[in-house]
A and B are shown apart, each in its own frame.
Chain A
Amino acid sequence: MSDSFMNDWVYTDTVKEHFMNPKNILNDPDYQDDGRGMVGSMACGDQMLVVIKVENDRIADCKWKTYGCASAIASTSMMSEMAAGMTLDEAYNLTPQMITDALGGLPQHKFHCSVLGDKALRAAIDDYLERVGRENPFKKQIAKIVCECKGITDQQIEALVKAGTVDTLEQLQQETGLGTVCGKCKTLAEDMVEEFRHIYGRE
């Protein structure tokens, strides 16, 4: 275990508090959720379930379960407190950085692998909108262009990896043409494929 891990993170009071006394854990097996999202996998070391209740387009309640390391527990606990009361729009735009900042920081290597709460929350909101048969206005709103030449967004990459269509950069290039013109985005896209594979348990 690296020194920075121990010094920068474990004993910051906010993280420790959320790790020792996690808030909003889902422990009611009969919980009536309006939306439910699960990301990650146990084989990858982190899996997260987020359930929400929605009232008047606001997150009325946010509960969770996680199989994961201490920063996964602490960050999801923090996320659940932040999300409660937010509008769906605000909740959808909650980022790992906002959660990490609220915790007082996490070491770099923890940031990508363990802060999955926001993604599970988005999946729960997606699920809610689908259940009530509403169009999802948020997906497009937060999409970022990765390949400018072909106009491929991060969400398209995410969807392809999530569906199991794409596992490598080469497959992504075949599928979308990404990175086949100027090629500037290839490294970024490759990293994204790997990250989404981790998040969606496709390793």
Chain B
Amino acid sequence: MAEKIFYMDNNATTRVDPAVRQAVMESFDLYGNASSMHSPGRHASAAVEKARGQVAALLGADADEIIFTSGGSESNNTVMDLVISDLFSGSGRKRIITSSIEHPSIVETVEIYREKGFPVTIIGVDSTGKLNMDELRKEAREDVALISIMTANNEIGTIQDIAEITRVAASCGALMHTDAVQAAGRIPLDLHGFGVDFASISGHKFHAPKGIGALFVRKGLHIAPLIRGGHQEGGQRAGTYNTPGIVGIGAAAEIALRLLDEDGKRIALLRDRLRRGIEASIPDVHINGHPVDILPGTLNVSFPGAEGESILLYLDMEGVAVSTGSACATGSLEPSYVLIATGVGAELAHGSIRFSLGRYSTDEDVDFVLSKLPSIILRLREMSTL
């Protein structure tokens, strides 16, 4: 194994920020149950409420609109399960509208409701991953309960116009959810400005620990819990407050908000240099995603004639950590459904690599990848039946 790790998989997860780690470590002393009335409980509760405010600030929301969950998947599942809740009973609204590039925690939950007889409409995307707005406007009718569209895509980084999509949802009276897991902490978010009803985020995408996330529920809405059996979070999510996780996501949110502008610019410059370097040193590459409306750290590239898992593992031998949309990495015969939805074709999807840079990415990381990648691609292409 390589000695040094050149980590370019920040869309998968991120390293915990040292200041966050410190805050989490200290929070272990706040061992009281945050629901208890005694002083250890009140101390824990104060830490939880402080974190709630920190998360709200990052999202452009109010503290009482934040529910802590175990992460993005739980938040997404909670929202999708609302189609069977009181929120829509008697309204005649059952249809779910979502896109062809959502996270599996949306895709698979929606599929379950489809099987149960709920009407589902999947809106397509163009070659850059942007939602087909004409199709959305056409499908936004009186029977729609919920529209769920991700703010930014995990694989290709494309950012959607959530404010405009929310206006379409409002025009037909549907509730609007956005999976902002990849966007939170990386690009400015203004949930009040967007006007969304629900939003999902996950701490470990912005340097908090794994296992902590949040769900934004717009003021005035009250949701049915996915996890039942307690009065926590106003009865909307049961389970003893995860004080260390909550403190962690709060601290991470505060740091992310402070660094949002500076980090975003620096990371985008690094990413652009990586892209230009790849284009200059490797013939016949295909850049996936949107040229402008894209997460600052995401670069998804297809290398025709070189298979993604092989590229990933040759890079891994050098200490470089990336992801691929190849079928081999999904454990099935199908390559990335996100790339397929953008119409790039199966072969380019099999040969795709996602580089995702983050707060700890450096010029050295980019230089190192650029020093290793061309020979890896050349070698695989020489070995290929192409």
A113 near B384 with CB under 8 A, answer no
Q: Mark B311-353, 1 if CB is under 8 A from A, else 0.
A: 0010011000000001111011101000000000111001000
A167 to chain B, nearest CB (A): 15
B347 near A43 with CB under 8 A, answer yes
Q: Which residues of B contact A42 (CB under 8 A)?
A: 347, 350, 385-386
B383 near A70 with CB under 8 A, answer no
A66 CA to B339 CA in the complex, in Å? 23
Interface residues of A in 134-170 (CB under 8 A from B): none
Q: Which residues of B contact A49 (CB under 8 A)?
A: 385
B331 near A48 with CB under 8 A, answer no
Q: Give the contacting residue for B384; candidates A67, A70, A198, A203; CB below 8 A.
A: A67
Q: Report 24 cross-chain contacts, Cβ distance below 8 Å, ordered by A residue.
A: A2-B331, A27-B382, A38-B385, A42-B386, A43-B345, A44-B333, A45-B326, A45-B327, A45-B333, A65-B383, A65-B385, A66-B385, A67-B384, A67-B385, A69-B308, A69-B309, A69-B328, A70-B310, A72-B307, A73-B310, A113-B327, A113-B333, A198-B333, A203-B333
**Known contacts A69-B328, A113-B333; A45/B350 CB under 8 A:** yes
A45 near B383 with CB under 8 A, answer no
Q: Which residues of A contact B327 (CB under 8 A)?
A: 44-45, 113
**4 additional contacts (CB under 8 A) given A10-B316, A27-B382, A66-B384:** A10-B313, A44-B327, A68-B307, A113-B327
A20 interface hit (Cβ, 8 Å): yes
Q: Which residues of B contact A113 (CB under 8 A)?
A: 327-328, 333
Q: Which residues of A contact B331 (CB under 8 A)?
A: 1-2, 5, 109
Q: Which residues of B contact A67 (CB under 8 A)?
A: 305-307, 384-386
Interface residues of A in 1-30 (CB under 8 A from B): 1-2, 5, 10, 19-20, 22, 25, 27
A75 interface hit (Cβ, 8 Å): no
Q: Which residues of B contact A69 (CB under 8 A)?
A: 307-310, 326, 328
A49 CA to B385 CA in the complex, in Å? 7
A158 CA to B347 CA in the complex, in Å? 24
A73 near B329 with CB under 8 A, answer no
A101 CA to B313 CA in the complex, in Å? 22
Q: Give the contacting residue for B309; candidates A44, A70, A109; CB below 8 A.
A: A70
We find that the number of chain A residues with CB closer than 8 angstroms to chain B is 33
A48 near B385 with CB under 8 A, answer yes
A27 CA to B331 CA in the complex, in Å? 30
Q: Which residues of A contact B305 (CB under 8 A)?
A: 67
- Give the total number of A-B pairs whose CB atoms are below 8 A apart: 75
Q: Which residues of B contact A66 (CB under 8 A)?
A: 383-385
Q: Mark B216-233, 1 if CB is under 8 A from A, else 0.
A: 000000000000000000
A70 near B313 with CB under 8 A, answer yes
B356 to chain A, nearest CB (A): 15
We find that the number of chain B residues with CB closer than 8 angstroms to chain A is 26
B378 to chain A, nearest CB (A): 12
A70 CA to B345 CA in the complex, in Å? 21
Interface residues of B in 356-386 (CB under 8 A from A): 382-386
A120 to chain B, nearest CB (A): 10
A25 near B383 with CB under 8 A, answer yes
Most buried by B among A1, A43, A110: A1
CB-based nearest A residue for B382: A27
A80 interface hit (Cβ, 8 Å): no
Q: Which residues of A contact B316 (CB under 8 A)?
A: 10
Chain A interface residues toward B at CB < 8 A: 1-2, 5, 10, 19-20, 22, 25, 27, 38, 42-49, 65-73, 109-110, 113-114, 198, 203
B333 near A22 with CB under 8 A, answer no
A37 CA to B194 CA in the complex, in Å? 58
Q: Which residues of B contact A46 (CB under 8 A)?
A: 307
Q: Which residues of A contact B383 (CB under 8 A)?
A: 22, 25, 65-66, 73
A117 to chain B, nearest CB (A): 13
A94 to chain B, nearest CB (A): 20
Q: Which residues of B contact A70 (CB under 8 A)?
A: 309-310, 313, 328
A198 CA to B346 CA in the complex, in Å? 13
Most buried by A among B305, B306, B317, B347: B347
CB-based nearest B residue for A4: B331
CB-based nearest B residue for A71: B328
CB-based nearest B residue for A16: B317
B346 near A43 with CB under 8 A, answer yes
The 3 closest A-B pairs by CB, nearest first: A69-B328, A69-B309, A43-B346
CB-based nearest A residue for B384: A67
A53 to chain B, nearest CB (A): 19
CB-based nearest B residue for A46: B307
Q: Which residues of B contact A10 (CB under 8 A)?
A: 313, 316
CB-based nearest B residue for A198: B333
B62 to chain A, nearest CB (A): 39
A10 CA to B382 CA in the complex, in Å? 22
